[in-house]
Amino acid sequence: MLPEFQGDARSFPDATHYWIDVNVDFDPRREVGTIEGLSRIQFTNPHDEPLSDIVLMLWPNDRQYRAEAQAGPALIDGQLVAGQPELEGLAQRYDLPAPLEPGDTLDLSVPFSISIAGLIEEGNVHRFGITEGVLFAPTFYPLVPRLMDGEWDARTAPIIGDTTVSDVALYQVRITAPSDQTLVATGAELDRELLEAGRVATTFASGPVRDFAFALGPFITKMEQVNGITINGWALPEHEEDLGVMVGAAATQLDLLSELIGLYPYTELDLVDVPGAFGGIEYPGLVSIGTLGGGNVIDPTVHEVGHQWFYGLIGDDQHEEPWLDEAAASYTQVLYHEQASRRGYATGMLTFFRDQVRDHPNPERPIGHAVEDYDTWADYGLFVYRKGALFFDALRGEMGDDLFFEFLQRFYDQHRYEIATAVDFQSTAEATCACDLDALFDLWVFEGGEIPGS
């Protein structure tokens, strides 16, 4: 964490702590790999009722992950407990040896293993797996889901859109991997130990983050410094020409959004070349970019950097209200081109978005639908990303520039590290402008209708 944010971790005395130790084997020629290890978890009951069980999510078993995971049994407060599989193996529920009283902490250790085979660009499986000699492994460990009104938020992710919705937690992760591959991971490197048989063990630690990810591959690297933050770009050698473009765009965007919204609190940001992993995927402190070598590097890069604020720092329910982070990240692309690139390009981008919405059979559809309400990736992208960006521009027009950016800063200050909702978003905007925005939000977000200028 940057010096001014080093107290943030202490602000979460009851945050879940993960200590993870894994061995990674990866054969890029055969396109197979394994991850095996142990996760120790300390979880504190934040609610006012005792808990009788705990759920762990095994996200590598999701449809978007090119992997299969197994876990358990778990050692819970000194007793061995077998897990009960749920959601076709996506979750495991463990009955606690004794009720966990409000404010009390349990200590849980669980072994787990993951087998990885096949390429992530095949079909719809883009989030986790192997591609062009790279192993990309986000959320590879058993994850404690959110508690909502005393119930575990264990649910299957939609086939489109993002998968996880997580509270912030603190991580210390030791990864032992082949020494002839470069390892990139969430957080800051604490220690590196050379082992026998061509292995190296690297330990990483994070501040408050929602997730942990790593990538392993034959990367070359480029680094830039921005206001005390190290931006590391990692690319395949054949994409060296795009590496500088990616890092330069990320540095500019990070500097811009730190000024317009709020400071990026971590000491580094890693951008990793993962061909075919969508256009890019956001994880705290580490993003993948899937378009290097394809001619479209800047927009995926600045979009994923925008996600460091929207979902990474200001969380939301990515299943139920995906526009809160995707529309926001899309609008940060507009801000990048407007203020750091070419204003005319930003205007043209908004015009292009408006034309695309206008050409849809149902352009009046609101942006505030859940992911499962969209039948196709095309409709999801059109309304959540593109019409969502148009909504942010309409909100800016309604509030005026000064109040709009004051609102974004307030939203960041009030909801950093939290899970925010559409109600939080609107109420913060209205408090900032001292105005009623019901009509605007109903038109764009909640009810829909013909948008001005369409």
Q: Please say whether the structural domain 219-313 has been given the CATH code 1.10.390.10.
A: yes
Each residue of 317-353: pLDDT tens digit? 999 999 999 999 999 999 999 988 777 999 999 999 9
Each residue of 415-448: pLDDT tens digit? 999 999 999 999 999 999 999 999 999 999 999 9
Each residue of 29-67: pLDDT tens digit? 999 999 999 999 999 999 999 999 999 999 999 999 989
**More confidently predicted of 389 and 277:** 389
Q: Is the peptide bond before 300 cis (omega within 30 degrees of 0)?
A: no
Each residue of 57-87: pLDDT tens digit? 999 999 999 899 999 999 999 999 999 999 9
Where would I find the beta strands (DSSP E) of 61-168? 67-71, 74-76, 79-81, 84-86, 91-100, 105-117, 129-131, 134-138, 147-148, 151-152
Phi, psi of 415 (to 5 degrees): -125, 15
**Which pair of structure tokens corresponds to residue 454?**
């369409």
Q: Give the pLDDT score at 335.
A: 97
**What are the residues whose beta carbons fall under 8 Å from the beta carbon of 116, sequence distance 6 or more?**
32, 33, 34, 35, 66, 67, 128, 129, 130, 135, 137
Which neighbouring-strand residues pair with 24?
A: 35
Whether the pLDDT of residue 365 is over 70: the answer is yes
Confidence of residue 16 (pLDDT cuts 50, 70, 90): very high
Q: Give the pLDDT score at 211.
A: 97
Q: Judge contact between 313 and 417, C-beta under 8 A.
A: yes
Q: Give the pLDDT score at 9.
A: 83
CA-CA distance, 238 to 175, in Å (whole number)? 26
Domain boundaries, the chain: 3-211, 219-313, 323-446
- In the CATH scheme, what architecture does the domain 3-211 have? Sandwich (2.60)
Q: Give the pLDDT score at 122.
A: 54
- Write the single-letter amino acid at 430: E
User: Minimal CA–CA distance to 69: which of 50, 85, 46?
Assistant: 85
Taking the model in full, what pTM does it have? 0.96
Q: How many residues does the chain have?
A: 454
> Which H/E stretch holds residue 192?
strand 188-194
Taking the chain, what is the end-to-end CA distance rounded to the nearest angstrom? 45
**What are the residues whose beta carbons fall under 8 Å from the beta carbon of 156, sequence distance 6 or more?**
62, 87, 88, 90
Q: Give the pLDDT score at 10.
A: 84
- Common-topology check for domains 219-313 and 323-446: yes
Q: Give the pLDDT score at 123.
A: 59
- In the CATH scheme, what architecture does the domain 323-446 have? Orthogonal Bundle (1.10)
CA-CA distance, 55 to 316, in Å (whole number)? 20
